[in-house]
Structure 1
Amino acid sequence: MTSVDSAAPERCPCLSGETYLNCCGRYHRDGTTPPTAELLMRSRYSAFAVGDAGYLLRTWHPRTRPAALELDEALRWSRLDIERTESGGMFDTDGVVEFTAYGRENGERLQQHETSRFVRVDGRWVYLDAVDE
């Protein structure tokens, strides 16, 4: 599993084109709040990619958040495609982000497609849940 510090000079896992520290790393390390649901989605994907379970729990809605989260060290995320967004802007209170994430686990290719719902709690975007499709 990649640590947050060792990922610093690398390109951000969310594929924004920025370095990790200038993109999602700033949200992971200093508590800066992503201003949109899509940026929260990207930062959460990057947290999965770098193994930052604490960030994932902090950005999960209190009503749906698990008590603990153990990330699979054999799983390596490599690409994130944002398919669509609905609302989730700087002045919205809820939003939807549909995405596909690609990776490998034990040499096998995998992909996860999800439509995620986000809401604001105390002015901060949090992940609520996935919409059943």
Structure 2
Amino acid sequence: MSKNSSRRPPAIGPGSPCPCGLDSPYGDCCGALHGGRREAATAERLMRSRYTAFVVRDAAYLLRSWHPSTRPTGLDFDPDQRWTRLDVLATTGGSAFHTEGTVEFRAHFTVRGRADAQHEDSRFVRDEGRWVYLGPVPPPGARAGF
């Protein structure tokens, strides 16, 4: 294996298991959202699809699914980082009947073979009818920026 090939994201095809952890192939699950064939029906589905977008390094989807008020101008992926598993820990709101929701998750990864995890309680809102990522839930006592 060449040095460059170890820096590529894992090959995930339409029939591959979806990295988000749901029991569906990528093409029918997060791949359908990434490709614009479907919209996320819940905040949790959007969060799962965003995790998978990090796995496959789909910056365009990540930016499209980010609220305009908090969206960065671009994204850079660490070529040595590999996302390995997603654990959804809790959700509030975020259903088809809500306009806001939160999803607490732990996303596991390795960097140069060393295991670590990102833990976040994320805020999601509807923007023009679509679920989008707003940012982390502010810590208790902090002023909300929205």
TM-score tier, shorter chain, comes to over 0.9
- After superposition, what is the alpha-carbon deviation per residue over 1:105-130, rounded to whole angstroms, capped at 9, x for unaligned? 10110100000000000000000001
The count of residues paired between Structure 1 and Structure 2 equals 132
Q: Mean Cα displacement is larger for which, 54-63 or 67-76?
A: 67-76
What residue in structure 2 maps to residue 2 of structure 1?
9
What residue in structure 2 maps to residue 15 of structure 1?
21
Aligned partners of 1:77 and 1:102 also within 8 Å: yes
Displacement, 1:3?
Answer: 7.1
Seen in structure 2, the aligned counterparts of structure 1 residues 57 and 31 have a Cα distance that, compared at 3 Å, is farther
Supply the distance in 2 between the matched residues of 1:3 and 1:101 (Cα, whole angstroms). Answer: 16
Aligned partners of 2:20 and 2:51 also within 8 Å: yes
Displacement, 1:74?
Answer: 1.2
Question: Structure 2: any 5+ residue segments left out of the alignment?
Answer: 1-7, 140-146
- After superposition, what is the alpha-carbon deviation per residue over 1:72-115, rounded to whole angstroms, capped at 9, x for unaligned? 12111111000000000001000000000001110110100000
**Which has the larger Rg?**
2
Q: Map of 1:52-131 to 2, 5 A cutoff?
A: 52-131=58-137
Aligned partners of 2:120 and 2:136 also within 8 Å: yes
Question: Structure 1: any 5+ residue segments left out of the alignment?
Answer: none
Residue identity opposite 1:10 in structure 2:
S
Supply the distance in 2 between the matched residues of 1:86 and 1:103 (Cα, whole angstroms). Answer: 25
Aligned partners of 1:47 and 1:55 also within 8 Å: yes
Q: Mean Cα displacement is larger for which, 14-23 or 58-67?
A: 14-23
Superposition RMSD in Å? 1.4
Supply the distance in 2 between the matched residues of 1:66 and 1:79 (Cα, whole angstroms). Answer: 25
Aligned partners of 1:3 and 1:51 also within 8 Å: no
Displacement, 1:132?
Answer: 3.9
Supply the distance in 1 between the matched residues of 2:64 and 2:79 (Cα, whole angstroms). Answer: 20
Kindly, what percent of the aligned residue pairs are identical?
Answer: 48
Residue identity opposite 1:2 in structure 2:
P
Could you list the structure 1 runs, at least 4 aligned residues long, displaced by more than 4 angstroms after superposition. Answer: none
What residue in structure 1 maps to residue 55 of structure 2?
49
Supply the distance in 2 between the matched residues of 1:74 and 1:58 (Cα, whole angstroms). Answer: 24
